[in-house]
Amino acid sequence: MASKHYVCERCGGLAEICHHKTYITPQNIHDSSVTLSWSNLEAVCRTCHQHEHYSNTEVCVEGLTFDASGNFVRIPPGAPSS
């Protein structure tokens, strides 16, 4: 974040969130090449981060989605997954 001077890489606003271009999943969360790789990180503001995760589909990983705080939550069984 500091390397980007806290500037959103998309709109130039105040970057508050470090977005992982490759979404973090239970399978790769311990893989430092994904979670810590500079090339996988993008400094974005809240608005752009919301757009990234909510624009096309709310589901990034099958069976998982994000809540309003950007945390992973499990989709309840039986709920539509897409």
- In sign, the C-alpha dihedral spanning 35, 37, 39, 42 is positive
- Note whether 45 binds Zn ion by CB under 5 A: yes
- Note whether 10 binds Zn ion by CB under 5 A: yes
Number of residues that bind Zn ion (CB under 5 A): 7
Give whichever of 3 and 77 is closer to Zn ion, judged by the CB atom: 3
**Total residue count of the chain as it appears in this document:** 82
Residue from 13, 34, 59, 75 that binds Zn ion (CB under 5 A)? 13
CA distances from 50 to 17, 47, 67, 69 (A): 10, 5, 11, 10
- What residues make contact with Zn ion under the rule CB under 5 A? 8, 10-11, 13, 19, 45, 48
